[in-house]
Structure 1
Amino acid sequence: MNRRLAVRNVMGLAKDYLVYFLTMTFVMALMFAFNSILFSKDVQNMFEVAGAMAAMVGFATFFVVLIVAWLIHYMVRFIMEKRSREFGIYLLIGMKKKEIAGLYMRENLLLGIGAFLPGMGLGILIQQILMSVLYGMIQVNYHLHLEMNRYCVLMTVACYGGCYLLALFRCRRKFRKMNIHDLMEAQRKNEEIVEKHEGAKRWLLPLSLLFLVVFGVLLLQGWLLNAGSILVFLVGLVLVIYLFYTGLSAWLICYVRKKGKAIYRGQNLFLMRQFSSKLKSMRFTMGTLTSLFTIAFLGCSAAMMFSDYQDQILQDKFPFDVHAYSSDAADDFAEELKVIENHTTVKESYVYSIYTDKTTQVNHWLYTHLQYFGDKYLKADGTVDKEKLKEEQDQSYCSFDTFMGLSDYNHLRKMLGYDPVHLEDDAYLVHVKERIYQEVGEFTKGMKIAENANDGTPLRLAGYQTEPFSQDGHNGGDYVIVVPDRVIQKMTPFYAELAVDIKGKAPADLQRRLENIEDDAESVDYKGEASGESEWRNWCFGSDTVVTYAAYYVVRDNAIPEIRYILSTVIFPAFYIGLVFVCVALTVLTVQQLSDASKYRFRYEVLGKLGLGMKEISRLIFKQLGVYYLCPALFAAGISGVIIVYISRKFIFYTGVKTSVLQYFGIAFLLFFGVYAIYFAVTYIGFKRSVEERR
């Protein structure tokens, strides 16, 4: 009998809490699809850094499991409270607590299994979509095929089943402590709202808003410089979110008590009373949902940032098909060319040198003026702290300024399809990353750069070039100074470079083959008598941050997919967390309102008897649900918006992407409210139908 009763109750639960059932099915599908990346042999064999994807997805899964466990626990407890009177009746007719607890556990396990099975089917579909997107991002062909790894299935079952069992066992303990009276009165107690000290609590609203403004100022002014200050900021932000809802509920109650003017407009009194009572009973839940929405906004925006970086920067970052470095300035790259010619069709190859005049004025200026370094290498008097630079061996720039001859420069420009440039004998130009030029402008003005081959006077500045030019250690770090050939002949060769233009696409293992060559690319110590230095370092990687890639050998067709894969280890988990958190939070909002629809039915019937027509009641329902749904969403949007604008500004500044600081938040906002609109529509239709049932 208990078995038939459990099946009948499960059918009722699936109908009454359809949104919860569908959300668990979808979350289960996402969990399986992303777990499949952890155990995919194809992904593991793709790159040497495949472990990074597994680590990040595993990290994301940890947080997803925590929030899913919270959702299941919340819903199991919520449903139990809603059915407390039913359980009390079971006790009255002679059932034991153990039997009721077992019945409830069986019902929820059946409900969980019911969501698990279709979730696995949907998960296989999402897995194929996910793999297709991943392979498309890294520019690798993907052929649809089913990949069912038993460890992936076991991990998904363990995570999903563990969340359910933990929630059910906690509720089982609660059953043992309850009696008939407690069960019969549980729902009524849940509906009781105690209003105490509301006058004092209402001040929490302006106080929380003041703290939010302070947090925003601290963030935008860049005062959060270390892990400790960031941790304090986050903890304070979470506390303020919870205080906000306590203050908002008290403020609304006090406003209604004082009979403010707004309560007499339309049905505002009804809306304010309903909303304040809901906030009063759900302020902790609303604070939690706001935190989830905030994390979802941040996750989606982070994914957008790195996706934008892929589209805008990567192709420009590696302009040459193959680029090789050697610390030996006399290297002819014979072995490298042999490997390249054996595995590709070479259209053109060019060996050249980067030179130095053993000065450091440009490097030191950049070390002390770029925002990336701050005042790290400045002494108290504003001069360069050379000892600190030497001690820390910062490799953003080489030990000396880097130069290139005009003929080499124009040859490389021709290989890249750029127009050649002309220089007078007494002039120089600087080829610099556009990001650096946008930050500092014409930074070499006033510097004495090289010497005129005719009269020994310093060269004059002829201008700047900012096209993509492989300046992450090859053609200098961030910059290279181009001088006439007669001037470069008086300088010392610093290191050698090989640029190769190949026909078609490079084989997937070409970069690995080049790296397997016995390379002498470790920094070589040279005696620099003229400079007074004991040694020099002729390898650097520039000042890029957020995303950096510096290698002695760079094969564009190998490097770009690898970086895309690395970036996808951020993009995919960020979307994963954001989507799950949004669905979980919206499920709680939806279930809360739909379960209360029967309670509101009587109130809307009274309003109908007072003269409100069905259209007016429908409009009132829309407003009631709209306020309830929008409050945590807009509050989260406001908080996350400030954080995202700050992060976006830093991201754009340090990566050089050409995007508005508001774009990432705007895209996240649209995606978020697209999902939001679906849940709201389902809630509105279900709520309205429930209210109209007895009219």
Structure 2
Amino acid sequence: MSLLDLSWRNLKRSFRLYAIYFISMLIGVIIHFTFSALMFNADILAAIEQKRNYQLGLSITSVVIFLFIIFFILYANSFFMKQRKKEFGMYLLYGMSERQITSMVFLETCFLSVISVVSGIVIGGLLSKFFGMLLMNLMQYDDVISFSFPIEAVGSTILLFVILIGIISAQSYLSVRRVQLVELFHAVAKRDKPLTFSMWLALLAILLLGVAYFLISQKGDSVFWSDYLLASMIAVTVGIIGGTYLFFRQFLGWVLEKISRRKTYMEGNKVLWISALRFSIRGNTLNLTFISLFSTIVIFLVGFVSINYTVQIFSAGKEFPNHIAFASQDPNTQKQIEQLIEEDHHITGHERIEGLSVKPVTDSRSANGDNFQENYLLFSASHYNNVVRMRSDKEQVNVQNQEAIALIQGARPLLFTANNQPKLTVNLKGETTFHLIEKKDYALLSKATNANGDVGLKPSVVIISDQAFERLKQGNALASFDIYQIEDAKHSIALSHKVHDIVSRTPGTYYAAFIDLYSIDVETSSLLLFSAAFLAAIAVFAMGSIIYFKQLREATEEQRHYAILRKLGVDDHELKWVIRKQLLFVFLPPLLLGILHSWFITYYPTLHEVRNFPQLTSIISAIFILYVVIYFLFYVSSTSVYYKIVSQKNAMS
């Protein structure tokens, strides 16, 4: 019989074992091709504005996905090889060489790779349409995405698996070569000895986690972060990592040890699953620590980019409330611009506001702060209120005499008392002093924009009373601005470019449009969210598979012990409960600790600072719930397969 015939017979004979390995490879192909197809999809590239940034972002993400897939499939192959040690031992006993066994594994890998690549590309092509539509929906575009099998994506997927076949063959050869023949016949791992647990180390785990949580919950301007930044960061890192490790190494073991000393320990099936857990803590500590910390990173990553996406979508309208705004043009140009707007979008509001450009005598930062233009633009309360009503906002003001309000968009608002009103002195053919009664987080005029986003500094806008404005404008030149609100402003990119081309004929002329920033923000934040969610899905799948493979291996090793339990009179129903409780220890503690870590890290540094968006709490809660559901499905699947494996051997006994 040739090696080719033997390889094919192995595939048919051990279908269940090969199926697990094949599914791992198939999912790897689907993930890689789906993402690669999105990178080169012509419909998506035609729809988005930032094509270069889009492909760069996906290229970086694809490298991470590439590394994930290699790691995941190599881990699956490692599990696959360990499950076949006795089979390889028989081949060696019958006279086959290590090279022949490696060649046989190589042929099997080629069979599985060809099938998985062809199937994965077909499925990935179908899924790429769905994910492309999802990405367009996140970017709030209405473009239709067609089925696509880009040649670049096909080529990169085939190249990935050519590389993987070479790495897998090398891994398989080394795995066979370094194990002795006697060990191949005794491939079952030795049972770990129970650890000695210390109450003090168990309490140290809780203390380290408590210190880390306490520091994370402190505000950024607290003494811990303002004066001892490096020390606090080190303390949090040590607390989270060290506390998590000791939690699984000592605390849980100490709790199990205490339970084992109770009088009720011998009741029911406690002795069966608790004793098994105490023996397995040594071998599971690193895995449980890794899973917990990895869960923290995954949940935080998805939570952070979800917060970023939501904030960017809503803050663009707040920072750039004017759909189109520009310095007033001559009548002919103004008419041309209005015709352009009316051709593409219906005008829902139009206001012309006039202001005075003045030099401050007092420090300009006293009114607006940093990142604002040095000269002030003074507008009357009436012009300001007209624009506010046009936008259907509720930000009207009432300013009398020498009172003034500074618009400090993006900063913390302040309301001054009558006895504590800063003086604001400006020079306009003589000095004039105003009393600042409020700093208001509102934008009358935003930063100037162009096709690449916002440019320059924020205008320093101050609102004064109508009486003061009428008095000051006598004999002084006015700065005039036209503000337009239009229907469907989120789809006005082409219109904005046309109007900007007309306005920018005069260098330095002010122009700003909501869509210029919104299109960039929404594309960037959508790409981040999509990539993070994609990576998180891969990471969760890889992590769940690692747990899954480990339980399969442990189930195979525990077959003899469960056979003994069955001979002692333990029925199937009780065996299932023992397995469920035993695996619950592997799944539940790292899940709960990972959620707790990620909640502190997500809420205090990030979510706590954006309290103006109450919907964010619901988004983060939904992420937690989804993660728990996925984890639960892995748990149910693992318990089912674990029971089938231990029962299979028992049935043969």
Distance 2:361 2:24 in 1: 61
Residues 1:558 and 1:463: Cα distance change in structure 2 (over 3 Å): closer
Q: Is 2:497 the partner of 1:512? A: yes
Residues 1:28 and 1:337: Cα distance change in structure 2 (over 3 Å): farther
- How does 1:202-601 map onto structure 2 within 5 Å? 205-221=202-218, 222=220, 236=238, 237-238=240-241, 241-242=244-245, 244-247=247-250, 251=254, 259=261, 263-264=265-266, 266-310=268-312, 312-324=314-326, 335=333, 338-339=336-337, 341-342=339-340, 344-345=342-343, 347=347, 349-355=350-356, 357-359=358-360, 364-365=365-366, 396-418=371-393, 421=396, 423=398, 425-426=400-401, 428=403, 430=405, 432=407, 436-437=411-412, 440=414, 442=416, 445-449=420-424, 469=444, 471-472=446-447, 477=458, 480-489=461-470, 490=472, 496-502=480-486, 507-517=492-502, 519=504, 553-557=511-515, 559-601=517-559
* Cα distance, 1:496 vs structure 2: 4.8
Which one-letter code corresponds to 1:214 in the other structure? V
Work out whether residues 17 and 80 of structure 2, in 8 Å CA contact, stay in contact via their aligned partners in 1.
no
Work out whether residues 404 and 436 of structure 2, in 8 Å CA contact, stay in contact via their aligned partners in 1.
yes
TM-score by length of 1: 0.77
* Cα distance, 1:442 vs structure 2: 4.8
* Cα distance, 1:95 vs structure 2: 0.6
Work out whether residues 11 and 18 of structure 2, in 8 Å CA contact, stay in contact via their aligned partners in 1.
no
**Sequence identity percentage:** 16
* Cα distance, 1:574 vs structure 2: 0.7
* Cα distance, 1:124 vs structure 2: 1.5
Residues 1:599 and 1:179: Cα distance change in structure 2 (over 3 Å): closer
Aligned to 1:156: 157
Residue deviations 1:344-382 (CA, integer Å, cap 9, x gap): 3474544434435533768534777xxxxxxxxxxxxxx
* Cα distance, 1:87 vs structure 2: 0.7
Work out whether residues 333 and 498 of structure 1, in 8 Å CA contact, stay in contact via their aligned partners in 2.
no
Work out whether residues 385 and 396 of structure 2, in 8 Å CA contact, stay in contact via their aligned partners in 1.
yes
Aligned to 1:617: 575
Residues 163-172 or 67-76, more deviating: 163-172
- 2:140 counterpart SS class: coil
Work out whether residues 197 and 254 of structure 2, in 8 Å CA contact, stay in contact via their aligned partners in 1.
no
Residue deviations 1:77-126 (CA, integer Å, cap 9, x gap): 22212221211111001111001112123323433444333322221222
Work out whether residues 72 and 164 of structure 1, in 8 Å CA contact, stay in contact via their aligned partners in 2.
no
- 2:463 counterpart SS class: strand
- 1:657 counterpart SS class: coil
Which one-letter code corresponds to 1:283 in the other structure? T
- How does 1:111-130 map onto structure 2 within 5 Å? 111-130=112-131
Residues 1:116 and 1:404: Cα distance change in structure 2 (over 3 Å): same
Residues 1:496 and 1:304: Cα distance change in structure 2 (over 3 Å): same
- How does 1:60-139 map onto structure 2 within 5 Å? 60-139=61-140
- 1:313 counterpart SS class: helix
Distance 1:333 1:566 in 2: 38
Give aligned pairs, total.
626
Runs (5+) with no aligned partner, structure 2: 450-455
Tell me the C-alpha RMSD between the 2 structures: 4.1
Task: Considering Cα pairs closer than 8 Å and 6+ residues apart, tell me whether 1 or 2 has the greater RCO.
Answer: 1
Distance 2:205 2:505 in 1: 60
Runs (5+) with no aligned partner, structure 1: 369-393, 525-551
- How does 1:633-648 map onto structure 2 within 5 Å? 633-648=591-606
Distance 1:651 1:162 in 2: 46
Work out whether residues 358 and 375 of structure 2, in 8 Å CA contact, stay in contact via their aligned partners in 1.
yes
Residues 306-315 or 674-683, more deviating: 306-315
Residues 1:227 and 1:449: Cα distance change in structure 2 (over 3 Å): closer
Aligned to 1:53: 54
Work out whether residues 510 and 555 of structure 1, in 8 Å CA contact, stay in contact via their aligned partners in 2.
no
Distance 2:378 2:43 in 1: 44
Aligned to 1:191: 190
TM-score by length of 2: 0.82
Aligned to 2:630: 675
Distance 1:122 1:262 in 2: 54
* Cα distance, 1:69 vs structure 2: 2.0
Distance 2:576 2:395 in 1: 70
- 2:373 counterpart SS class: coil
Aligned to 1:36: 37
Work out whether residues 7 and 107 of structure 1, in 8 Å CA contact, stay in contact via their aligned partners in 2.
yes
Residues 481-490 or 461-470, more deviating: 461-470
Work out whether residues 322 and 554 of structure 1, in 8 Å CA contact, stay in contact via their aligned partners in 2.
yes
